[in-house]
Amino acid sequence: MTTSSPHADFSVPFTLGWDIGGAHLKIAVLDQSGHLIAVEQYPCALWRGLDQLTPLLTHILQKWAPVSQHALTMSGEMVDLFSDRVSGVRTLLQTFSEYVVATSVQVYGGNLGFLSLKDTQGQEAEIASANWLATAAWAAQHIKYGILLDIGSTTTDVLCFSDGRPVPHSIGDADRLITEELVYNGVTRTPLMALGQYVTWQGARRGVMAELFATTADVYRVLGSLPEEADQHTTADGGPKTRAASITRMARMIGLDGHEYEEAAWCELAEVWQVLQQAQILSALNRAKQRMLTSNNETISLVIAGVGRFLSSGLMHDEKNQTDFNPIEFSAIGSLIHPDHHNPRLADYASRCAPAVAVAALLLKRNLDHRSITA
């Protein structure tokens, strides 16, 4: 998927933000004033080999020349192409450096800030899967107090920020899974068996088959809520991306065929799986909220990002704790979209691909701040 501003000036150098994931490559293009020019997402099945990535690097660099600087973050180091995450980070950095001028690259190292390629050695653990921290860091520079909720295609990030900086309770995927700051489900690639071993539907509690018959993309395609161009990978059975085919795949999860019930009944089953997914995310959001509550119970800003933002409407208010959220779209933070050139599609994609946008914006702001200090 790709979208760009019709008002872009393509004659000036750009800042490119890169988020190299295990399933997608996302880029954001900013002009010299810090306004978004374009956001793009490409399917990139990195687990199959580096040859899934390298043609995309060539294509993007040719398309968006000239570039003054690159801001790079990643989570692709965790795929099973690599023996471990450190070697994954090293391999991805080496591969990237073969296509760009090294002096123009800054790698996001979380709490270390940006690192030149030559300074990344020994810092692989800080670089690995730090993309969520970049998104929160950009939000924290513009909103004093809140929670980032980034619901993606594969994972969901839930992270508090306060007084200008992210305040994670854990760093690294293993610890983040413990604290629920990382919830390993998303709205397209998650196998339905990961949402629960049982579903209650049509008056019966039914076991769910531990098979990759269907994914969450099928659920939201049946419900009609799957965003345009959200599902960029092949389906679980390699079949078509139609509502009827999704019903067939979903039915297999509970040992049935799609023709055995009417479409309305299958929509009810899809809603059951949506509720299961929202419950997992709500558990994480409630834990984050308890960390943020103040004595006067003030409203918490909820910065919403990711292709699964449509799920957030069911998470906004928790009656048990009587705490409302003030929802804010990630793309609305920091004047990323030129006020005279508002583009709803560009804003949508900016929120979908928030880490790529964030690293580009953070790097450009750092450079502008440095220039103003030294001027």
CATH number for position 303: 3.30.420.190
Distance from C-alpha of 343 to C-alpha of 14, rounded to nearest angstrom: 19
Task: Write down the pLDDT at residue 212.
Answer: 97
Cβ neighbours of residue 155 closer than 8 Å, sequence gap 6 or more: 182, 183, 184, 185, 186
Q: Which region among 83-97, 189-203, 302-316 has the lowest average model confidence (pLDDT)?
A: 302-316
> Which pLDDT does position 340 carry in this prediction?
74
- Same domain flag for 287 and 157: yes
pLDDT at 31 over 60: yes
240, 346: one domain? no
Q: How does residue 75 score in pLDDT terms, banded at 50, 70 and 90? A: very high
Are 291 and 204 members of one domain? Answer: yes
Q: pLDDT at position 49, please? A: 97
In a domain, 318, yes or no: yes
- The token duo for 205 is 């509690």
Quote the CA–CA distance of 297 and 293 in Å, as a whole number. 6
The verdict on 55 and 200 lying in the same domain is: no
For residue 159, the tally of other CB atoms under 10 A from its CB is 28
> Residue-wise over 267-290: b if at least 16 C-beta within 10 A, else e?
eebbeebbebbbebbbebbbebbe
**Is a pLDDT exceeding 60 seen at residue 280?**
yes
pLDDT digits 0-9 by tens, 234-263:
999 999 999 999 999 999 999 999 999 999
Three-state DSSP at 373 gives helix
Two tokens, residue 96: 């990237």
**pLDDT tens string 222-234:** 999 999 899 999 9
CATH number for 53 = 3.30.420.40
For the chain, how many structural domains are there in total?
Answer: 2
Q: Are residues 110 and 228 in the same domain?
A: no
Classify residue 136: in a domain, yes or no. no
Q: In the chain, at which residue ranges do the beta strands (DSSP E only) sit?
A: 2-4, 14-20, 24-30, 36-43, 67-74, 105-108, 114-116, 145-151, 156-162, 165-166, 182-183, 198-201, 204-207, 300-305, 317-318, 323-329
What's the confidence (pLDDT) of residue 9?
57
Residue 139 lies in a domain: no
Predicted pLDDT of residue 101: 86
Q: What percent of the chain has a predicted confidence (pLDDT) above 70?
A: 92
Crossing angle of the two packed helices 354-374 and 344-352, in degrees rounded to 10: 100
Whether the predicted pLDDT of 373 surpasses 90: no
Is the predicted pLDDT of residue 111 greater than 80, yes or no?
yes
Residue length of the chain: 375
241 lies in the same domain as 317? yes
The angle that helices 263-292 and 243-252 make with each other, rounded to 10 degrees, is 80
The Cα 248–Cα 166 span in angstroms is 43
Residues 286 and 173 in one domain: yes
Average pLDDT, the chain: 91
Same domain, 345 and 279: no
Owning domain of residue 314: 144-333
Whether the per-residue pLDDT at 217 is higher than 70: the answer is: yes
pLDDT band at 323 (very low <50, low <70, confident <90, very high): low
**184 and 329 belong to one structural domain:** yes
Q: What is the pLDDT of residue 295?
A: 45
Q: Are residues 259 and 365 in the same domain?
A: no
- Do 304 and 355 share a domain, yes or no? no
At 165-175, the pLDDT tens digits run 999 999 989 99
pLDDT at 370: 66
Asked if the structure places residue 138 within a domain, the reply is no
**Residue 114 confidence (pLDDT):** 97
